[in-house]
Each structure stands twice: as structure tokens, then as C-alpha cells.
Amino acid sequence: MLLKIGIIITFVLSVAQAQTLTLCEALQRLSELNGKEVKIRGVWAVGDTGQDFIAIPQCPQHTIRDGWIWRDIIDVYPADGRASVGGFIAKYSELAKTNHEGKVLATLTGRLETRDHFEVRTLPDGTQQPRAYRYYVALLRYRSVEDLEVVPFGPGERGPVIEALRKPEATRLK
């Protein structure tokens, strides 16, 4: 029992002391951060088919991993199931409904996962796609959400986001 308390205290202290990264910083440091607890700030999008964490504006450098160019998005999923973060999702929904012209910024804390190598599947039309976290290079299994706020989209920001969500697939590096 004492060991469990010690582990929990260590986890809380290490996350509390952790630097908050932008999504672009996390994407550039995937190998280093893989399997670690991180705090990441980005645009949080919650929908019927999943949750995304999006870099807006787009990252200055492409995320290239295992021969693929990935979108500036990671998949996010509650570490302990959706019920464990119901309050955060309710707050998100309230903000999103009242501010249609803005993006919801949030800081999510959790364990980041990626792969060094992605198995490639061939689709019926002959195109190849890596088996990823839904369509994205990484997954953040988050435990907490903080600093939720809505900010307006900047000039030219909305179009690339819509395009990335319509066509989320990674492309082969040429």
C-alpha cells in the first residue's frame, strides 16, 4: 500500500513539474517522449468518432516517421475510459456550442504512444496506408484536461484544419 502511494505521489510530482509542450514540440520529439507522461497544449476537437489534438497553426516542420509524412494531429483517448473525463468533455461541449467561430485550446496530460515502424496495409483501390492510431502518428492517453479556452481562428487557419480532417491519411515520403 505504501509503495502504491509513493508511486502515485511520484507520478503527480513528475507531471506537475513537467514543462507544457506545444503539439508541434511533441511531434518533433516523439521518439524521446514515447511511453512517457507529458503535458501538451493544442486544439482539442471532440466528435462522434473520436477525439483529435490538432496543431493550429500548422507546425513549421513536417512530422516524418518510418517513411511517411503525417498530419499535425494526434489521436487522444481517455486513459481510464470516457466516463472518467465526462466533466472535461461537458465543459468542452459547452464552450464549443457557444463559440462556433473559435477553436478550443486545452492542455492535456497523459501518456504519449507512437511506433518506430508502422505496418503497411493495401486498400482495395491499391493505395497503401500505414496502420496507425486511427490516421495519426501518435496517441495521447490523457488523464486530465486543464486551461480550456476558446480563441478565434486566425486568418487562413480554418481551411488547412478542414482539409486535414477530411483527408487525414499520411502520405509516403518521396
- Kindly report the pTM of this predicted structure: 0.82
Residue 20 vs residues 1, 2, 4, 40: alpha-carbon distances, Å: 31, 30, 26, 5
The answer to the question of residue 3 being in a domain is no
DSSP 3-state of 89:
helix
Nearest to 141 by CA among 76, 55, 69: 76
Please state the domain count of the chain.
1
Position 13 in a domain:
no
Q: What is the pLDDT of residues 94-139, one digit of tens each?
A: 887 777 778 889 999 999 999 999 999 999 999 899 999 999 999 9
**Contact yes or no for 136/51 (Cβ under 8 A):** no
Where in the sequence is the domain holding 44, given as residue range(s)? 20-172
Q: How far apart are CA 135 and CA 63, in angstroms?
A: 13
Measured CA to CA, the distance from residue 64 to residue 173 in angstroms comes to 8
Establish if 4 belongs to a structural domain: no
| Backbone φ, ψ for residue 119 (5° rounding) | -65, 140
